[in-house]
Chain A
Amino acid sequence: MAEQALVQSPGDTHQTSTGIDNTKLAMWTFLGSECLLFGALISTFLLYRTRADGAISPHEVFDIPFTSVSSFVLLMSSLTMVLAVAAIQAGDHHKTRMWLLATAMLGAVFISGQVYEFTVFVREGFTVGTSPAGSAFFILTSFHGAHVTLGIVMLLSLFGLSLQGRLPTERASAVEYVGLYWHFVDIVWIVIFTVVYLVPA
């Protein structure tokens, strides 16, 4: 009979023959596939960014100082997220809940800023139907916003589980997976902020 030793993975989630947590590997593969999704949306925007078709162009309505503050908020949410992961790995559940809630709140502030920004754009005549540039911009940023919203839901779920005592230190990997997803939406925004907002048309 072939001898097979199953080795406890560092995440303590399950045993694998390689020592690498399969769920974590799957999460990274999923994030790799997400690069292709956002790559397509960003490329579409780059292709159509100058196609305003006589209507108002994106760079005429952008409010860089406002979006910079939103970007900073999302960047800081990555810090609070990594602190939540560190806290649960250290077995500090109070701090875990505090940082999870802080991350969700910062995410909510970012989404509120995006909603406000969209409202201003629509009022100024830059909508999803105005031009190819408008369609590409709103689809890209809305997809990102939907990802952030899903991240907030997952963070609040973890917060709720922790409050009920159903998120012990042994399940720290669950916080780590949500953290990976959250950092991913942050790095996507880093690209969007640079390519869409800051790079001149």
Chain B
Amino acid sequence: MNINFNRFLIIRYMVQLLVMVFIAKLIGMSLWFFLPKEGVQNHVKTDFVMPYMRYSIDDFKLKASQIKATVDRANALSIESIILKAIYRMEKESFIVVAPKNNKVKSKTIGIGEVFEGYTLKKVFKDYVVFERSYKQYRLYITKPKIDKRWKNVQPNPEPIEEDVRRISSGEVKQAISNPSEIWKNIGLKPHMSEGKPNGFKVSFVRKGTVFEALGLKVGDIIQGVNNKELKNNAQAFSAYQELKNAKALKLSILRSKTPMELEYEIY
């Protein structure tokens, strides 16, 4: 009788345990139904940037006659087939007016990323634009209007865009970035937001006599890229800081008075 009673108790506890297992499994399954079935993968793109090289035409020792001989005139796709009539540059969007050289009346307005005559518009600068075709870049300068000599003195003197490659010593760069806490004594950078989204880093001050002044940075400049890579958040800033340690060149893409500019430096 006593054995039967113990058996009854064991069966009772077993049933209770099974009920609890069932309830727990049911809770687990209901949660599984609502939870995602796949994880998140971070596809880290490795942005390839061509190493900086500076060549002198003298290095190639080519004579003019030799150069002429290598040009296949029949198949050469020249950007000379297009004329650039006008450039409209704004902070967010830029447009240009282009036309085929053989039909100047047939003008077309295109924006960045749009294609004209097989050339894709990549960048818009103050007096020229950059097209891309078959992974090659082409510059197209604005067609200078024929100036009426009577009005020549009225033409404003355009402000030159700083595009010349400046030189800066690697020692200066290393000294400037070796002590991170010292950087903030020499330059002030604040995250810049545009329509609630990070849009670069705004220069709030530049200490005189420092490498940052030598770089040509001015108060109010918005740094948006370093060496062809975006610079819009802290992670990208840190990544750029890492790469600067071994960089041979530095290219800063900045926005100065709403005008996009590129400052280029050779680190020797």
Pair from one complex: no
